Chain A
Amino acid sequence: MPVVGHVALMSLTLSLLLSRAETGRAQETDSPVVQRALMLENSGKHREAAQLFRSALGAMPNAGALLGLERAYAELGMSDSLLAPLDSLIARDPREPLYRSVQLRTLQMLRRDDRLRVAFERWVRDAPRDPAPYREYARMLLQLGRSSSADSIVQRGRLALGGARDLEYETAQLRAAQGQWRASAEAWRRALPDAPHLASAAAYALAPTPANARDTIRAIFLGRPAEPGARSALAELELTWGRPRDAWDALRSLAPDTIAARLWGDFGERAFGEERYVIARDALAASLRVSPSRSLSLVAAAAALRAGAPAEVFTLLPLADARAGADSARDAREVVPLHVEALAALRRPADAEAMVERYDRHVAPGQRVRLARALATAWVQSGDIARARIALRAAGEDADSSEAAGWLALYEGRLDAARALLKGTRETGTDLSLAFGILSRTRGDAAPELGAAFLALARGDSSSAAAQLVAAAARHQDAASAILAAAARLLATAGTGEGAVALWQRIVTQYPESPEAAESELEWARALRRRGDVAGAIAHLEHLILSAPASALLPQARHELELARAAGSPP
């Protein structure tokens, strides 16, 4: 089987890094001729650019001209023309690693394997204590998929240099290419303290490690001392392997210094972007303890709020003291909305209202509506619909046609108004999906029992919400299956599995033709499988497939049937 893929890609990445480094070096010495040549190259005039690069190289050897010539000749398919100038440059300065690297690269591109080997041997002879020839040649061989040859070169380099210290990166890549995950991780561990910027390369190389070998990798990277490069690599690996909590655990035990704070901050922002709010809050809070930063505090507070820890908003993002000359307008814009949301979540609507009043003069009209909605939500969550309506009215006419007004209509059981006002919402969330699912199936306007169910849900009482939905189902036969399915979902989320199973069972038996029947039967089968009743799960999955041949859930049901059969078959 060919060994291609990640080795080649990694080598390419490395080559790009290398060429970037070389380009940076070239830019330091770019002469006006080289700059002109670069402009010609950028406009696609490679032949003219090559002439200028070549004349610049003849006048004064420099990296910019050589790399430019290499690129231009490659574009023109004339890479072999580079060999003669390279021979002259090397004769003049045999220890310059750039000339040698370009020479190896060119010979590799031309597939002149014999000359490539000779060039490497000459480089070794001219610079016997230099690790660069071993590195370059081993990387090239790896890129070509010749891992055994690369291995020989690395071994030779070790002997010649009296140790492996300068070749750890190559050893690490080599072992990964050979599937020797433990040896690769050990080499990465040795390489990373001197080159923490290679953490991503390490994570990339080790990502294909099979699941049964990952604990070994973890042990190596978690070994003491806790070192930023290794921990950073492991954190990336854990994210790739789908274990974000372990990723944070790999980073959190670093000694609290500015390097760790930067890693924690970057990790926290990434976790926030991926909607992993608890981890984001932990990482950002750790970073803030070492390096306070207003922008990071804002993200941390938002993460805490979404992570279900509203009380932490006040410590992560405290309001500045106005008497100390704080910028109240800026606070009103950035901090107050988060504080109001936190107070709402903590069922402290009166405090939220007081805060809005305190900053009222700094608040822009658009923002006022937003705050009013947050306030209304706070009152709803504390069970006071009347105060919620007052809060909303205070924000003006706009607020009356807002989503918040739509929610209020729903809580009051005015379904037509709720349908109209929630239709254009940009909000997303479980409650909204639930509401839409039911609103789209029910007919008529007044449904106080449904409103009460959603109000209970808004107050965080999902058991009561589920019970009220079940009661409402009896009064809304046209949408009974949808309402019961919503109740089952609430119970399942709240961990009341038995109650949910009873409802799924009821939907499947009483409403077999309803759109919710397939979903309910799938959930029922899953619950049975979780309980260990594989035969029961198989029977329901088969029934679902046979009874709902047009259901969009069929591919999923078939997949789960295969899994259940595999789990149920004798060893």
Chain B
Amino acid sequence: MPTRFQLARSVALFVAALVVVPAVQAQRLLIPMDDAQTNHLKAYGLTYNAMKTGAQSEWLLNYRGGAFLLPDTPELRRRAALDGIATEPLSDATLAGVRREMAGGNMESVPLEKAPRIAVYTPPDAQPWDDAVTLALKYAGIEFTAIYDEQVEQGELTKYDWLHLHHEDFTGQFNKFHLGYRDAPWFREAVARNAGAARRLGFASVPALKKAVSERIRQFVERGGFLFAMCGATETLEMAIAGRDVDLAGEFADGSPMDPDADARMQWSRSLAFKDAHLEHSPFVNAMSDIDGHQVNVPGRRQPLGTFTLFNFSAKFDPVPSMLVQNHRAVLSDYYGVTTSFTKATLKSGDVVLATEEGAPWVKYIHGDYGKGTWTYLGGHDPEDPQHAIGNPHTDLSLHTSSPGYRLILNNVLFPAAKKKPLKT
């Protein structure tokens, strides 16, 4: 039986605990995104899912690598601890100091309002090596819906705010992989699957189907959608949109040779990012056009990989490009893809260049507005696998938790959530 003293001590401890607990919990939780962060990629998932539950969230552009500010709740602390995400509790006074510091420098706080609804355009039987974005979203714990031609043609794009395209060839030529892989089972299956879909949807050929899908995507952006594309999808989507009325595909794809006047007949005014590109007419050369600077699959033209540098935008005046380049590294190693980079000569004048290789005639990362929406293109296939080859095992992101390249992908996922501010420059 406890003594009176013991009882009194227990009561005192209980009362003390009641007083102390609220003080232990800070008002806000800072998710640093500089080198203090232990898992940058999961931090995006934490923020996205916090937003989804209605938590008041902010993106502190250029502050500590593009930190996030979330409410300090037990559940968020728990999620962060489980995922190995570094967090720092901030009291009101400390937060006021942070805001003062941000006001005096090239920094800005952007409220994150609503978690975007995400769709990834990917075939139902995508190979694990196919898509870095799918890998990033899955690893970060961000929900998405996989859609493909049939859903796009059924008008399902209207259900989403954000659409990602990765490895698709929108000219309908299967990235010209018939040159090296015509007998590979996965290639044969891809051809059969696409041909079947074209038939079911009433198109004469796969190139015709892909052009129709491209047009739907163009309309999605025009009406206010956010488009993010990587690798070969960037170049071929533009070609399909600009070449709506041109036979872009070789005989092996649609039974008729490519239009010999294709270059002259392209309507680049319809496209989002590129202009005046020269198309590759030979069905035996594994390239699509001169939009790609590196031409990785054309031995005589292949350019070596270098490094690319992210531009430092004014966070207060250019918040959108600022969001897209938030990173804890400014210089990143380059990586190949079917389309690795974008030649400067083919960029439209309104394109915003987000990252470039010094002294090279190409850029790596671009962004722009189109109608009421925006598009962002990132060259290359997998930021952590520079020489990525077909059949390679997919990148294990638990080994690259702070990948600066994958951060660029995830910046794009969060940026549609930002409360819109007009572009000031």
Contact = CB atoms under 8 A, between A and B. Distances in A.
Interface of A: 1-5, 111, 113, 144-148, 177-180, 183, 208, 210, 542, 545-546, 549, 554-555, 558-559, 561-562
A180 B177 CA distance: 13
A549 B81 contact: yes
28 contacts: A1-B129, A1-B336, A1-B337, A1-B338, A1-B381, A1-B389, A1-B390, A2-B296, A2-B387, A3-B297, A3-B390, A4-B389, A144-B299, A145-B297, A178-B184, A179-B186, A179-B390, A179-B391, A183-B183, A542-B82, A545-B81, A545-B82, A546-B78, A546-B82, A554-B84, A558-B84, A561-B82, A562-B398
B387 A5 contact: yes
B252 to A, nearest CB: 12
A35 to B, nearest CB: 39
B202 interface: no
Given A148-B180, A555-B84, A558-B82, 15 more contacts: A2-B336, A2-B387, A3-B390, A4-B389, A113-B300, A146-B299, A147-B180, A178-B180, A180-B184, A208-B391, A208-B392, A546-B81, A549-B81, A554-B84, A562-B398
B369 interface: no
Contact of A180 (B183, B300, B337, B388): B183
A111 B300 contact: yes
Which residue, of B84, B336, B389, B392, has the highest number of chain A Cβ atoms within 10 A? Answer: B389
B391 A4 contact: no
With most chain A CB atoms within 10 A of its CB, the pick from B179, B183, B391, B392 is B391
Interface in B169-204: 179-181, 183-184, 186
Interface of B is mostly: loop
B83 interface: yes
Contact of A145 (B186, B299, B338, B388): B299
Interface in B380-395: 381, 387-392
A149 B336 CA distance: 22
Contacts of B184: 178-180
Q: Quick one: which of A2, A180, A183, A558 has the most chain B CB within 10 A? A: A2
B146 to A, nearest CB: 14
Interface of B: 78, 81-84, 129, 179-181, 183-184, 186, 284, 296-297, 299-300, 302, 336-338, 381, 387-392, 398
A148 B297 CA distance: 11
Residue from the set A1, A4, A177, A208 with the largest chain B CB neighbour count within 10 Å: A1
Nearest to A150: B180
B298 to A, nearest CB: 9
Nearest to B175: A1
B83 A558 contact: yes
A180 B390 CA distance: 12
A559 B183 CA distance: 37
Contacts, number: 68
User: Which 9 residue pairs across A and B have the least CB separation, nearest first?
Assistant: A148-B179, A2-B296, A147-B180, A179-B184, A144-B299, A179-B391, A4-B387, A148-B180, A1-B390
A2 B388 contact: yes
Interface centre among B83, B284, B299, B390 (most CB of A within 10 A): B299
B104 to A, nearest CB: 35
Contacts of A3: 180, 297, 389-390
Contacts of A144: 299
Contacts of A562: 398
Nearest to B381: A1
A546 B389 CA distance: 39
Given A148-B180, A178-B184, A542-B82, A559 B387 contact: no
Nearest to B129: A1
Contacts of B183: 178, 180, 183
A144 B297 CA distance: 10
A555 B381 CA distance: 28
B313 to A, nearest CB: 31
Contacts of B338: 1
Contacts of A561: 82
B388 A1 contact: yes
Contacts of A1: 129, 296, 336-338, 381, 388-390
A104 to B, nearest CB: 15
A183 B188 CA distance: 15
A560 to B, nearest CB: 11
A178 B182 CA distance: 9
A5 B387 CA distance: 8
B82 A2 contact: no
Contacts of B181: 178-179
A210 B389 CA distance: 13
A148 B389 contact: no
B359 to A, nearest CB: 23
A559 B399 CA distance: 10
Nearest to A177: B180
B337 to A, nearest CB: 7
B86 to A, nearest CB: 11
B398 A559 contact: yes
Contacts of A554: 84
Contacts of A147: 179-180
A149 B184 CA distance: 16
Contact of B389 (A5, A542, A545, A558): A5
A491 to B, nearest CB: 30
Nearest to A555: B84
Contacts of A183: 183
A240 to B, nearest CB: 14
Nearest to B296: A2
B338 to A, nearest CB: 6
Contacts of B180: 3, 147-148, 177-178
A494 B391 CA distance: 41
A558 B399 CA distance: 12
B284 A210 contact: no
Contacts of B390: 1, 3, 179
Contacts of B388: 1-2
Nearest to A175: B183
A561 B79 CA distance: 12
A196 to B, nearest CB: 27
Nearest to A147: B180
